[in-house]
A and B are shown apart, each in its own frame.
Chain A
């Protein structure tokens, strides 16, 4: 099925470092969602964005809805070991049938 381009694919960082990942699409989206998935579990919603330019924080996480409505980024500040996991973006457009398109995921590993 259709997917968003998400980068980077994977990251190895030192504890305490900041992390940035982004998603881009060829289509305009009206909603962007960011999820974290740990092994053997379902994705957990981190941040939801509904308006172009919107900047939203959830603790050490900050995400923005791009002005062009075709991209979004997620930043994690001062990473800690429990940030390890796979981060997915998901975009939704109101055109056509309702469904979310998922990014390919960013696998994050934090070295203590």
Chain B
């Protein structure tokens, strides 16, 4: 299947700092990528839809100024957690929409964020 990478795989930062997470589709072009957040033993909760060349669409309750999304190319979307606080600690997972052949969605390996 298609490959989606995420970097970094884990990050520890101090409260008040900003953290950038990259999501790349390695073998296909993705006009649409998604950012999810997952708490322990829970399902994936969609945060926002990242559209190449346009503004991201945020889900209700997700602060767009807190979670900045940039989708500057067909293979790269970035999520920046600004002024991170301990409650932002979570597992962040991106996915990319693959329109090659039959449409589906592939996930990255996730980024574990710990804010101290």
Q: With CB as the reference atom, state the residue of chain B lying closest to A88.
A: B43
Q: Total interface residues on B, using CB and 8 Å?
A: 29
Which of B59, B103, B106 makes the CB contact (< 8 A) with A45? B106
Interface presence of A43 (CB below 8 A): yes
Known: A1-B60, A97-B57, A98-B49. A42 touches B43 (CB 8 A): no
CB pair B49–A42 under 8 Å, yes or no, is no
Which of B6, B43, B97, B112 makes the CB contact (< 8 A) with A40? B112
CB pair B93–A98 under 8 Å, yes or no, is no
**Category for how many chain A residues contact B:** 20 to 34
By a CB distance below 8 angstroms, the chain B residues around A75 are none
CB pair A88–B44 under 8 Å, yes or no, is yes
CB pair A104–B107 under 8 Å, yes or no, is no
Which 4 residue pairs are nearest across A and B when measured between Cβ atoms?
A: A42-B107, A42-B110, A42-B109, A43-B107
Q: A42-B95, A43-B44, A45-B1 are in contact. List 4 more A-B contacts (CB 8 A).
A: A41-B109, A42-B107, A42-B109, A48-B102
Partner-A contacts on B (CB < 8 A): 1, 4, 6, 32, 34, 41-46, 49, 57, 59-60, 91, 93, 95, 97, 102-110, 112
For this complex, 24 residue pairs linking A to B, each with C-beta atoms less than 8 Å apart, are A31-B104, A33-B104, A35-B107, A40-B110, A40-B112, A41-B109, A42-B6, A42-B93, A42-B107, A42-B110, A43-B44, A43-B93, A45-B105, A45-B106, A45-B107, A48-B102, A88-B43, A88-B44, A97-B57, A98-B49, A99-B46, A100-B46, A102-B43, A107-B41
